[in-house]
Structure 1
Amino acid sequence: MTTQTNNGFYGRQIATKAAPFVIIILAGMAVRTPLAASHPFVALLLFLWIVSDTLMLALVARSSGKPEWRAVLGVLAGASLTVWLGLPSPLRGLLVETPILALMMVVFVLSHMAGATARAGRVLSRPTSDRREQWLSAVSEIFPRALVRLAVAELTVIHMACFRWGGAADVPTSARAFAYHKHLTPICATLLILSAIEIGVYHLLVGHWSRIASIVMFILSDVGFVYLLGLIKSFRFRPVLLTPEGVRVRAGFLIDQLVPFEAIVAVESGFTGEEVRDTVTLNAALFAWPNIMLRLDRSLPRRSFLKKRVAFSRVAFRLDDPEPFIRLLVWRLGQRGS
């Protein structure tokens, strides 16, 4: 019953997030039909209304209470840009010839940009030690936060795949790193070989059937290969860390979770399969069985890709050499009362 309830919840979450994109895409297709071409002004007004109403309803659904005025203004600005970019050329020309609508859309965009730029300036003026997060927060005042973080994640993966071929791992000066990538090397090499074979198959075999299809599949395969390469390289560059605040459990780009020392009650190297597979266990071991488990005295939140807070009270992961980590962590836990 619980599993069915969770699956239903996740299904509703996905539907809620995907519905606005589907509706806007369908509306964009509708304004390109002959019926819309025969009634251009009505099609323009309907498209403007559908986009604005859809994005506003999505904002209300995301908000726990009444949306802030700046969020409403941001949605109206985003709707204006979406309408401008989504209209076919004849309707875009009609929009330009309708001064009231065009002026209203320009006012929304300029007002949002002015207010967001001022807020971004205030964010950047605050003293902080995390400049990266500060810049993310500042840019998120102008563009949707999810879009900004997605863009940063995309650029990070591409940079990792194409430009980082050596050097030290990402380890702060106050932290101790513990590697987990060596046991992943064989399966990662296999995945890269299979991906390279797939690219060749798409290019050679599909090309005999359709040149356009072969080019599309070849591009998609290349993008997938770059992402896979970036993920595999991130395993080495992002090890598990023992920081002054706690254990920072990492699994490349996939997991980055800080577990405070105060929450850890035990560190174990022996545990059952039921515990690892339990829903309250954050399993950070990839393609292998974990050899370390941290037991916590409380539930810690972790955001999933659906932005739902998932609580966990155990953390399981695998290290290439777990003994030094366990000794150092046990010593550090023993220092909490001193």
Structure 2
Amino acid sequence: MFVELPRRPVWLSPSTILPPIVIMVVAAMLRLPVAAAHPRAAALAFLWIASDAMMLGLMARTRHLDWRGGIAAMATAGLTVLSLSPPPVRAALIAMPWALAIPAAAIAIHGGRGLCRVAERVRRWNASDPDRWVAPLAEILPRPLARLAVAEARLLHLALFRWRAVPDIPAGAQGFAYHRHLQPMMIALLLLSCIEIGVTHLLVAHWSRTAALVLFVVSDVSLLYLIGLIKSLRLSPVLLTETGVRLRAGLLVDRTIPYDAIAAAVANPDGETVRALDSWNIALLAWPNIVIRLSEPLPPRLRWRRSPVRAVALRLDQPGPFLDALRARLDAEAG
């Protein structure tokens, strides 16, 4: 086998999902009249439940409790309680300094320790490290959240800037474009979205200015994402590297297949091959014109589809030169 079937990600485990759900449910219950009538009791109960949920979730994930993880869990619980509590409950909690002593100490220790480690990583900065931005941020935030924040920042930077950037083709690699048939359709989709969003904003504004403002923020962020995706199609071509084929579809796909895992590559695949359960179609908004058959299958691309991937279908602007170059590299690997 090419690789083993993937295990369930940590962020999908019950120990990760249940604590935030419990905290959100309790935060919603604080809006009830009984909580407003007894804000001190509500504040203490919320602080206890949030701390307990975070600590139990940590123990379930790690099977043991170390002081660093415990401090981080208590700091997260304290920040969550202060940010999600309604004003009367928050005021009652602040009026009880003894109740905030442990969360405040945890926040101070966790933040101070994180800033020290961030400073240490900045001193050892390595511009070639792909995780150079994630690693310092992960000293303060959970690593999945740090990766998400860095990915969002990169996407916004791509959408707002880099208008004349050259495609990402490393030294020693050959790039093959696939954006020429995609960009016109996606630009048309972008223009239609702008028109639809403008009309919808006008209609919603007559009903609720708050809803119109929320819709404005959500829709504008979505447009930025779409602009970033359109620009990434040109900047992320499919590559033939020294080790394998790097399949890319803008921001959506980035996967390298070693040459020794490729059995064959053919043009103009039939519908049965493209629609097969063990095929992965990464052609966007068009019919693929190339299929790469694998000698060693990839793991299932979706958790609810258990069939391993034995063929990858894609569409390139110039399939002929790609097939010639790929076959040449396969022959060199076989020789």
Distance 1:67 1:264, change over 3 A: farther
The alignment's C-alpha RMSD in Å is: 3.3
Give 1:83 shift. 1.3
- 1:33 partnered with 2:32: yes
Pair 1:74-2:72 in alignment = yes
Deviation at 1:31, TM superposition (A): 2.2
SS of 1:80's partner is helix
SS at match of 1:159: helix
Map 1:92-131; keep pairs closer than 5 Å: 92-117=90-115, 130-131=128-129
Aligned to 1:3: none
Higher helix proportion, which one? 1
- Closer, same or farther in 2 for the Cα pair 1:206/1:113, shift >3 Å? closer
Are 2:322 and 1:330 aligned?
no
Amino acid at match of 1:242: L
**Greater mean deviation of Cα atoms: 12-21 or 253-262:** 12-21
State the identity as a percent.
43
The superposition leaves residues 50-91 of structure 1 with CA deviations (integer Å, 9 ceiling, x where unpaired) of: 222333444456x37546653343222211211122223343
1:165, CA displacement in angstroms? Answer: 1.8
Post-superposition shift, 1:195? 0.2
Identify which of 179, 184, 187 aligns with 1:186.
184
When residues 329 and 54 of structure 1 are mapped into structure 2, their CA distance, relative to the original with a 3 A threshold, is same
Deviation at 1:120, TM superposition (A): 5.1
Structure 1, unmatched stretches of 5+, are 1-8
Alignment of 1:204-243 (within 5 A): 204-243=202-241
Mapped partners of 1:56, 1:262: distance in 2: 46
Alignment counterpart, residue 157 of structure 2, candidates 125, 136, 159:
159
Question: Size of the alignment, in residue pairs?
Answer: 326
Contact 1:174 1:243 in 2 (8 A): yes
Query: Scaled by the length of structure 2, what TM-score is found?
Result: 0.83
Match among 227, 242, 245 for residue 243 of structure 2 = 245
Cα distance in 1 for partners of 2:199, 2:321 equals: 45
Name the residue aligned to 1:4: none
How far apart in 1 are the matches of 2:14 and 2:215?
28
Correspondence for 1:139: 137
Between 1 and 2, higher relative CO (CA 8 Å, sep ≥ 6) is seen in: 2
Task: Give the secondary-structure state (helix, strand or coil) at the position aligned to 1:134.
Answer: coil
Question: Within 1, Cα distance between the matches of 2:13 and 2:188?
Answer: 32
Cα distance change, pair 54–160 in 1 and its aligned pair in 2 (3 A): same
- In structure 2, distance between residues paired with 1:49 and 1:238: 49
1:266-319 Cα offsets, whole Å, 9 max, x none, are: 222243434323343332111112222222232334776x8x999533322111
Cα contact 1:292–1:316 (8 A) shared by 2: yes
Unaligned stretches of 5+ in structure 2? 1-7
